Amino acid sequence: MEIAVLGTGSVGRTVSARLDELGHTVTIGTRDPEATLTRADHPQLPLATYADAAARAELVVLAVSGEVALDVLALAGADNLAGKALVDISNPLDFSAGFPPTLLVKDTDSLGEQIQRAFPEARVVKTLNTLTASLMVHPETLGSSSTVFVSGDDPSAKGMVTGLLAAMGHDDVIDLGGIETARGTEMLMPVWLRLMQALGTGEFNFKIVR
Amino acid sequence: MEIAVLGTGSVGRTVSARLDELGHTVTIGTRDPEATLTRADHPQLPLATYADAAARAELVVLAVSGEVALDVLALAGADNLAGKALVDISNPLDFSAGFPPTLLVKDTDSLGEQIQRAFPEARVVKTLNTLTASLMVHPETLGSSSTVFVSGDDPSAKGMVTGLLAAMGHDDVIDLGGIETARGTEMLMPVWLRLMQALGTGEFNFKIVR
User: DSSP for B5-36?
Assistant: EE--SHHHHHHHHHHHHTT-EEEEEES-HHHH
- Average pLDDT (A63-88) is 98
Q: Is residue A123 part of a domain?
A: yes
User: A115 vs chain B: nearest CA distance in angstroms?
Assistant: 19
Of A183, A184, A195, the CB nearest to B208: A195
Q: What local confidence, expressed as pLDDT, does residue B73 receive?
A: 98
Q: How far is CA A41 from the centre of its chain?
A: 20
pLDDT category at A43 given cuts 50, 70, 90 is: confident
Q: What local confidence, expressed as pLDDT, does residue A42 receive?
A: 84
Q: Is residue A204 part of a domain?
A: no
Inter-chain CB proximity A207 and B204 less than 8 Å:
no
What is the domain range of residue B183? 2-199
Q: What local confidence, expressed as pLDDT, does residue A40 receive?
A: 84
pLDDT category at A25 given cuts 50, 70, 90 is: very high
**H-helix segments, chain A:** 10-21, 33-37, 50-56, 69-76, 78-81, 111-118, 133-137, 155-168, 182-186, 189-199
Q: Is residue B208 part of a domain?
A: no
Inter-chain CB proximity A188 and B185 less than 8 Å:
no
3-state secondary structure of B44: coil
Q: Is A5 within 8 Å of A26 (Cβ atoms)?
A: yes
Q: Interior CA angle at B40 toward B38 and B44, to 5°?
A: 85
Q: Residue A150: which residues within 8 A CB-CB, separation 6 or more?
A: A125, A126, A127, A158, A161, A162, A165, A173, A174, A175, A176
Report the domain count for chain A.
1
Local mean pLDDT, 10-residue blocks, chain B (210 residues): 97 97 98 93 92 98 98 98 98 96 98 98 98 98 98 98 98 98 98 98 98
What's the rounded Cα separation, in Å, for the pair A111 and A88? 9
Inter-chain CB proximity A209 and B205 less than 8 Å:
yes
Q: What local confidence, expressed as pLDDT, does residue A161 receive?
A: 98
Inter-chain CB proximity A181 and B201 less than 8 Å:
no
* B207 neighbourhood in chain A, CB within 8 Å: 146, 206-209
Q: What local confidence, expressed as pLDDT, does residue B42 receive?
A: 84
CATH number of the domain encompassing residue B23: 3.40.50.720
Q: Is residue A148 part of a domain?
A: yes
Inter-chain CB proximity B184 and A190 less than 8 Å:
yes
Q: Is residue A209 part of a domain?
A: no
What's the rounded Cα separation, in Å, for the pair B175 and A122? 41
- Average pLDDT (A1-10) is 97
Q: What local confidence, expressed as pLDDT, does residue A41 receive?
A: 84
The pLDDT tens digits for A58-69 are: 999 999 999 999
Q: How far is CA B187 from the centre of its chain?
A: 15
Of A106, A144, A194, the CB nearest to B184: A194
The pLDDT tens digits for A180-209 are: 999 999 999 999 999 999 999 999 999 999
Q: Is residue A140 part of a domain?
A: yes
Of A102, A103, A185, the CB nearest to B191: A185
Q: Is residue A205 part of a domain?
A: no
Q: Is residue B205 part of a domain?
A: no
* B191 neighbourhood in chain A, CB within 8 Å: 149, 176, 181, 184-185, 187-188
Q: What local confidence, expressed as pLDDT, does residue B41 receive?
A: 84
